[in-house]
C-alpha cells in the first residue's frame, strides 16, 4: 500500500485527536526594548479555532506579539488572556509550558542527533515513554511521515523537516499553535503544497493558530483573518477579501499588490486624472488624490481604427512573457511614465501596437494624496 507521500499528499488523514482550542485576548499590549518600541497598544481578540496571520514588514512587531502569546516574552504593558484567564500582566505570568501552546519556528529547530521519533517525543515529557511514543507516532502519521521514525533530520528534505517540526508542535495537542514564518525555508514550488497540507492539519486538529508572515499571498491563502501590523500597531484587521479589496490606506494596498499610480483631483464628485475620470464617493471637492490600479486591473483593447480606440489611448512599449501571464509595459497618453498590465488568457499584443486601455473598477483604489 502506498503511503501518503507516495500518494502525493498528506494532511487531513482522519486521525484527529482531541484538541480544545483556546481564545486569545491581547489587551493594550506594549513592548519596549530599551528605547525601541516594538509593540504599541495592541488590542486583538482571536477566537478559538481561528487561523490568524500576523502580517507586516520586517520590524513591525509580528514576532514579538507571537513570543508574548507563547510566554517567551513578557509584555511591558497590557495583558494577555488565554480563555479569559490572565496569562500575563503586571502581577501574573504563566510560563510557556503551562500555556498549552505549540511552537514552530522558521528554522524548524530540530535536534540533529535525535531520530525523527525522538524529536517529536521531545515535547511530550509529561507522558510515560510508551504514551509519548504512541502520541509522537500519531502526530507523524498525521503529517504523512510514519515511515520515517528511525531516520535523522539530515536524511530528510526541507519539506519533510518542516513536517517533523509541525508534528512536534502538534504532538502535545496544543490549544494554540504559534508559527513563525513556517514556510520561508522552502522553495517556491514546494511551498504552496506544504502550506495547503499544513492548513489541512491545523483544521483537522482544530487548534487556534497564529502564523507570522511577511508574505501577503501566504496570509491571504491561509488565514480566516489577517492582522496587518506597522511600527508595532495594528493597521488593519479583517478577512482576506476585506484587506485585499478595501485596504485601509495606500500603504496597506501596496502591501498586497503592485500598483500603477496617477495623481488626480476631485472635481464634480469624481477623480479627474490625466488618464481619465474615476468614480468615487469618498472625498471632498478639490481634494488631491492618488488613483492606484493593480497590474491585473488593466483591460487592453486593440485599436479599432486610426481614429478610434476603446478606452484611454496607449501604446505597447514592451511585452514580457511570464508563462501563465504576460506583463506589458505601456505608454499612456497624458503621463510620461509607464503603466504595467498583467494579462492572462492568450490575447497577445506586440511592441508598438496602438491600444485602448480601461481600468477595472474592482482593482482601482483611490486614496487621499497624503494618505
What nine digits make up the cell of 326? 504576460
Q: Between 129-142 and 158-170, two packed helices, what is the crossing angle to 10 degrees? A: 130
3-state class of 71 per DSSP? coil
Window 300 to 339, contacts with ligand ATP (CB under 6 A): none
Long-range contacts of 216-222 (CB under 8 A, 24+ apart): 216/55, 216/255, 216/256, 218/53, 218/183, 219/53, 219/55, 220/244, 220/256, 221/192, 221/195, 221/196, 222/51, 222/53, 222/195
Min dist. Cβ of residue 228 to ligand ATP (A): 11
Q: Cα 369 vs. chain centroid, distance in angstroms? A: 27
Q: Which is nearer to ligand ATP, 176 or 228 (CB)?
A: 228
Q: Is the dihedral of CA 145, 149, 152, 153 positive or negative?
A: positive
Supply the minimum distance, in Å, between the C-beta of residue 339 and ligand ATP. Answer: 31
Q: For residues 178-217, which are near ligand ATP according to CB under 6 A? A: 214
| Cα gap 216→226, rounded to integer Å | 9
Residue closer to ligand ATP (CB basis): 106 or 272: 106
Q: How far apart are CA 275 and CA 278, in angstroms?
A: 9
- Closest CB to ligand ATP among 72 and 127? 72
Q: Would the CA dihedral through 155, 157, 159, 162 be positive or negative?
A: positive
By C-beta, is 61 or 182 nearer to ligand ATP? Answer: 61
Residues 32-91 interacting with ligand ATP (rule: CB under 6 A): 33, 36, 38, 56, 58-64
Burial of 355 (C-beta count, 10 Å sphere; 0-12/13-18/19+)? buried
Rounded least distance, CB 66 to ligand ATP, Å: 8
Give least dist CB 37 to ligand ATP, A: 8
Locus of grid cell 496617477: 262
CB of 179 to ligand ATP, least distance (A): 12
What does the DSSP 8-state code read for residue 35? T
**Residues 53/211, Cβ–Cβ less than 8 Å:** yes
What is the number of other CB atoms lying within 10 angstroms of the CB of residue 366?
22
The x, y and z cell numbers of residue 38, run together, are 516594538
Q: If binding means CB under 6 A, how many residues of this protein chain bind ligand ATP?
A: 12
Nearer to ligand ATP, 58 or 305 (CB): 58
Residue 146 or residue 181: which is nearer to ligand ATP going by CB? Answer: 181
Quote the least distance from Cβ 59 to ligand ATP, whole Å.
4
CB of 26 to ligand ATP, least distance (A): 14
Q: Between residues 214 and 296, which has the closer beta carbon with respect to ligand ATP?
A: 214
Helix/strand/coil percent split, the chain, to 5 = 25, 35, 40
Closer residue to ligand ATP, CB minimum distance, 58 or 130: 58
Residues 234-263 that bind ligand ATP (CB under 6 A): none
Q: What are phi and psi of 43, to 5 degrees?
A: -115, 125
Residue 285 and residue 338 in contact, taking contact as beta carbons nearer than 8 Å: no
Q: How far is the CB of 351 from ligand ATP (least distance, A)?
A: 40
Q: Smallest gap, in angstroms, from Cβ of residue 39 to ligand ATP?
A: 7
Q: Which CB sits closer to ligand ATP, 59 or 185?
A: 59
Write down the least CB distance from residue 192 to ligand ATP, Å.
21
Between residue 111 and residue 140, which ones bind ligand ATP under the rule CB under 6 A?
none
Nearer to ligand ATP, 56 or 276 (CB): 56
Residues that bind ligand ATP (CB under 6 A): 33, 36, 38, 56, 58-64, 214
Amino acid at each position: 500500500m502506498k503511503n501518503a507521500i507516495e500518494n502525493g499528499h498528506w494532511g487531513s488523514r482522519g486521525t484527529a485527536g482531541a484538541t480544545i482550542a483556546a481564545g486569545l485576548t491581547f489587551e493594550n499590549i506594549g513592548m519596549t526594548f530599551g528605547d525601541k518600541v516594538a509593540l504599541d497598544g495592541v488590542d486583538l481578540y482571536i477566537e478559538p479555532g481561528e487561523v490568524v496571520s500576523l502580517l507586516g514588514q520586517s520590524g513591525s512587531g509580528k514576532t514579538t506579539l507571537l513570543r508574548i502569546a507563547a510566554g517567551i516574552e513578557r509584555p511591558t504593558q497590557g495583558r494577555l488572556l488565554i480563555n479569559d484567564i490572565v496569562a500575563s500582566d503586571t502581577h501574573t505570568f504563566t510560563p510557556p509550558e503551562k500555556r498549552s501552546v505549540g511552537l514552530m519556528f522558521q528554522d524548524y529547530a530540530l535536534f540533529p542527533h535525535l531520530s525523527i521519533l525522538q524529536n517529536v517525543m521531545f515535547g511530550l515529557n509529561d507522558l510515560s515513554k510508551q504514551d509519548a511514543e504512541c502520541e509522537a507516532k500519531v502526530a507523524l502519521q498525521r503529517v504523512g511521515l510514519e515511515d520515517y521514525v528511525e531516520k535523522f533530520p539530515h536524511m530528510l528534505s526541507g519539506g519533510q523537516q518542516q513536517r517533523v517540526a509541525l508534528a512536534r508542535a502538534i504532538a502535545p495537542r496544543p490549544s494554540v499553535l504559534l508559527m513563525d514564518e513556517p514556510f520561508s525555508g522552502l522553495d517556491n514550488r514546494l511551498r504552496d503544497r506544504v502550506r495547503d497540507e499544513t492548513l489541512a492539519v491545523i483544521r483537522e486538529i482544530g487548534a487556534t493558530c497564529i502564523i507570522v508572515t511577511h508574505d501577503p499571498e501566504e496570509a491571504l491563502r491561509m488565514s480566516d483573518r489577517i492582522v496587518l501590523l506597522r511600527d508595532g500597531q495594528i493597521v488593519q484587521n479583517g478577512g482576506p477579501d476585506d484587506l485585499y479589496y478595501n485596504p485601509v490606506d495606500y500603504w496597506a494596498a501596496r502591501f498586497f499588490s503592485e500598483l500603477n499610480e496617477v495623481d488626480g483631483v476631485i472635481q464634480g464628485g469624481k477623480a479627474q486624472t490625466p488618464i481619465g475620470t474615476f468614480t468615487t464617493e469618498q472625498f471632498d471637492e478639490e481634494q488631491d488624490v492618488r488613483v492606484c490600479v493593480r497590474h491585473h486591473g488593466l483591460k487592453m483593447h486593440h485599436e479599432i481604427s486610426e481614429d478610434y480606440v476603446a478606452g484611454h489611448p496607449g501604446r505597447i512599449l514592451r511585452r514580457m512573457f511570464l508563462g501563465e501571464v504576460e506583463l506589458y509595459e505601456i505608454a499612456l497618453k497624458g503621463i510620461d511614465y509607464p503603466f504595467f498590465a498583467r494579462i492572462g488568457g492568450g490575447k497577445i499584443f506586440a511592441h508598438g501596437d496602438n491600444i485602448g486601455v480601461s481600468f477595472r473598477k474592482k482593482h482601482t483604489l483611490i486614496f487621499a494624496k497624503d494618505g
